Amino acid sequence: MTKHNILFIGLDTHKAFVEVAYIEDNCGAQPIHFGRISSAKIAIKKLIRKFESKYPHATLHFVYETGPCGYWIYRLITSLGHCCYVVAPSLIPKKPGERIKTDKRDALKLAKLLKSEDLTPIYVPEPEDEAIRDLSRAREVAMKDLKDAKYQLKALLLRNNINYTGTANWSFKHLRWLTEIVLPHPAQQIVLQEYLQTINERLARLKRLDNELEHHVKSWRYYPVVKAIQAMRGVRLLVAAGVIAELGDLTRFDHPRKLMSYLGLVPSEHSSGGKRNIGAITKCGNGRARRLLVEGAHSYRYQAVITTALQKRQEGLPKDIVDIAWQAQLRLCRRYQQLLHKGKHYNVAVTAIAREMIAYIWAISREVVLSPVNPKLRIARVPA
């Protein structure tokens, strides 16, 4: 049997089965369809043993697309000592004339593209990091559900021409006013009571998730980074934990421009010849992290100042990190006003501030990882 250095194996994963194809590393080799196997762990292990026995001198390289099934296949294969790559479907090259898509073709295509080095693997978080990310996302879903319940209640009142004359919605005074409302029909009164009960339940759910997130983040390995980036204006615990949970190790980017591009905060471009056309931001990468940064960027509309809450968040942090945060505030507040004076739209200015915010967050994360001054703020480097 011919000895091969590398065997490239493409996996088209689904809930119940996995389509498998492979290609050898010799010149002119064509991808071969292996077949369909179960998506159970025992079936994946059996598949690996077959390739190990058939190609005992080859290094096995697996690849599959990201999807709702998560990263357990990646972790299983790497735990067995083999290389595995996870790629985003949007980054897989596709010919414009391809009109047929099947599981078999996808597996063959993945194996072939892996051999030709035309695939860009994505960052796979550690199980602990993914758990914090799930908790952060669950908190966001709870907030969305609470807003939906409030909108439904306000719509019911609007249909019955009932308006609140106070100043602050959902304050204690407003909630007491809601309990005193009497609608003209008993059926509508039942609906009102159900809406109020739903809001109370979702408020309690949101509070529970807030408490759990604050508790678990403090024992997370990235908590030093989460605590450090809260020195910046507009970055509280929820934003800091959400951004780091979505992005993981920021120092795997050797330059902040790469991180900006990864988040889709850079302008799109379509230039040819002597013409250069700059468009809106690309919106690639992680949309949730991008949205959190844009939310935090709204705080730079006002003049630079160290508030009491911000000063409390900066207590105990090294001077280098506090200086970076103050430098960021001075620049970003000034930058926002400059963009408005140039006639830029409000949303464009806020997005530009968010793009520069992630650069300062990247700088702070590097100070935390590489700082020899405060051992409590050091974390272990994570391989890219």
pLDDT for the residue numbered 1? 36
- Give the torsion through C-alpha atoms of 206, 208, 213, 216, to 10 deg: -170
Q: Taking residues 193-200, what's their average pLDDT?
A: 95
Lowest mean pLDDT among 95-99, 151-155, 302-306: 95-99
State both tokens at 284: 């690639």
How many residues does this entry show for the chain? 384
Instruction: Using DSSP, state whether 86 is helix, strand or coil.
Output: strand
31: helix, strand or coil: coil
Q: Provide mean pLDDT across the span 267-287.
A: 89
**DSSP letter string, 343-379:** T--HHHHHHHHHHHHHHHHHHHHHHHHH-SS-GGG--
Predicted confidence (pLDDT) at residue 374 exceeds the cutoff of 80: no
| Residue % of the chain over a pLDDT of 70 | 95
pTM score, two decimals? 0.88
Domains of the chain: 6-115 (3.30.420.10), 127-218 (no CATH), 223-377 (no CATH)
Q: In 3D, which of 250, 289, 245 has the Cα closest to residue 129?
A: 245
Instruction: Reduce the secondary structure of 115-163 to three states and give it as a string.
Output: HCCCCCECCCCCHHHHHHHHHHHHHHHHHHHHHHHHHHHHHHHHHCCCC
**Per-residue pLDDT, 5:** 86
> What is the per-residue DSSP string for 306-326?
--HHHHHHHTTS-HHHHHHHH
Of the pLDDT bands very low, low, confident and very high (cuts 50, 70, 90), residue 150 is: very high
Q: Give the model's pLDDT for residue 376.
A: 46
> How much is the average pLDDT of 238-247?
96
How far is CA 151 from each of CA 117, 123, 145, 239, 373, rounded to the nearest angstrom?
50, 38, 10, 24, 50
Residue 378 reports pLDDT greater than 60: no
Query: Both tokens of residue 285?
Result: 């990468």
pLDDT value at residue 117? 92
Q: Is the pLDDT of residue 304 over 50?
A: yes
pLDDT recorded at residue 167:
85
pLDDT band at 370 (very low <50, low <70, confident <90, very high): low
Report the pLDDT averaged over residues 270-291: 90
The predicted pLDDT at position 373 comes to 43
Pairwise pLDDT comparison (314 vs 379), residue with the higher score:
314
Q: What is the mean pLDDT of the chain?
A: 92
